[in-house]
Structure formats: C-alpha cells, structure tokens
Amino acid sequence: MNNKPTLFTSLSPALLHLYDLSNSIVVIIDVLRATSTIATALYNGAKSIIPVDSVTRCIEIGKQIDGITAGERDGKVAEGLIYGNSPFEYPRDFIEGKTLVLTTTNGTRLLQMALDKGAKEIITGSFPNLSAVCEHLMEVKQNVILGCAAWKDRVNMEDMLFAGAVISTIKNNFSVNCDSSHLSVTIYKKAEKDLFGFMKKNDASHYHRLMGFGLEKDIRYCLTPDGANVLPIYDEGKLLIKSL
C-alpha cells in the first residue's frame, strides 16, 4: 500500500482547476521573475510582501501602509508604481524592514487563484530558494501541487524547469502519477548542467523577452539555485519567511 502524499504539476493557471487544491500545499512558481524577487526581497530583510492582483490595488495598499509599490505588466514597471520586478532592485540596504506591495502579470494572479480555490497552504518557489522549498515539502509530508505561473496562460520553459528541479529532488517521498511532472523532470535533467544555455538554445520565449530588455543578469540570477534560500509562506494576506 502506498501512503505517500501525491504530487502534481499544473503547467498553466488555466489547468489549475484540474487539481484538488483544498487538500494540498500549492507552490507558486514564476521563475522570471516574480517568485525569484519575492525570495530575494525576503532574504534581504523585507518585513513582508503583500501580493495583489491589480495595479490600482497595489497603489491603494501602498498608500495605506506606506509600503514600496512594485509591479510589472508585460515585463515593464506598471504605470503608477515605483519599482519593478527585478530581484536586483531589492538589496538589503534598500528593502530591510520594509513592506513590498507587489503585482505581476502572472505570478501574483496565480497566487490569488490558489487562494480563491482554497489551497491548504501557499508557498512560493524559484531557483534562488530551491532547497528551502524542497526541504519544506519533504518535511511536512502533505499533498503538493506545483503551480506554474506560465505567461498569460501559455506554458513556459523556466517554470517547467523549476518544477522538474523540485521533483527530481523530492520524488521518492511522493506518489507521482502525473505526466506533466514526469515531463518536467525529463526537461530538467536535460538542462540542469546549464539552465541559461538550455533556455537560449531552445528559444525560450521569456529568454528573448528579457534579453530584449537587457536583463541577462536577471535571467542568470533567477536560474541559479539557492542565492536567497528562504521559504516565503502566505499568511493572512502576506508572504513572510517561515523559519526552517
């Protein structure tokens, strides 16, 4: 008899409804760049991050709590907000002790969906906090849904790579009856020696988009494991570090 918890991968927000969130930990994955930035800001001492699903709400909450408003639409700082979605905008000497109010095209929207669908627990995952995510999932032994934020619902390479990295590490502790998960591992195994090179060689759409904005440094950082190894966990409207 197999008593292991289950693990599924949802490759797009448009597929999230296929899975039972109410009984699962949902890992929000938006590698380029929302969840990488969330890990980084918290690692650098941000008090908390309030993810919101619209620019209007971002501005509103920013005013109420005197927070840093940040967010992007289509890869650029959204009108009315002050900061963007690059992890390099949030070094310790700027973000320590502050609250970041963040809205992004895909990642924060998916988080809101997971919340609406009653996820048991929501954490965020990215290469910079890969180990923290894996350790938490192995420790708590609950069902897991890896939720890729994708790009406007279209499956993307980097989120699938991260899902594959997580599954490669923790799969022996879970029952994985999910082709999307197995496919993610195959892709990751093929790519793991040089994730940046893999994205470039295989014409990842997000690679081209961000390179077009001159953001190679962001891409490289967001594909490097454990540069900001904390576990952001959602609690009453905020993402906070859960101590490991």
Instruction: State the Cα angle at 32 between 139 and 110, rounded to 5°.
Output: 65
The reply on whether position 186 binds a copy of itself by CB under 8 A is: yes
Instruction: State the Cα angle at 110 between 181 and 43, rounded to 5°.
Output: 90
Question: Closer to a copy of itself at the Cβ: 104 or 181?
Answer: 181
> What residues between 161 and 180 interact with a copy of itself by CB under 8 A?
176-180
The reply on whether position 183 binds a copy of itself by CB under 8 A is: yes
Instruction: State the nearest-atom distance from the C-beta of 130 to a copy of itself, in Å.
Output: 20
Tell me: cis bond preceding 154? Omega within 30 of 0 counts: no
Asked if 71 and 81 touch (Cβ cutoff 8 Å), the reply is yes
> What residues between 196 and 235 interact with a copy of itself by CB under 8 A?
202-206
For the chain, percent helix, then strand, then coil, each to nearest 5?
45, 20, 30
The reply on whether position 14 binds a copy of itself by CB under 8 A is: yes
Question: Closer to a copy of itself at the Cβ: 152 or 220?
Answer: 152
- DSSP assignment of 6-40 equals BEEEESSGGGGGGS-GGGEEEEEE-TTTHHHHHHH
* Interface residue with a copy of itself, options 98, 182, 200, 238 (CB under 8 A): 182
In the complex, the residues that contact a copy of itself under the rule CB under 8 A are 11-12, 14-15, 18, 151-157, 160, 176-180, 182-183, 185-187, 190, 202-206
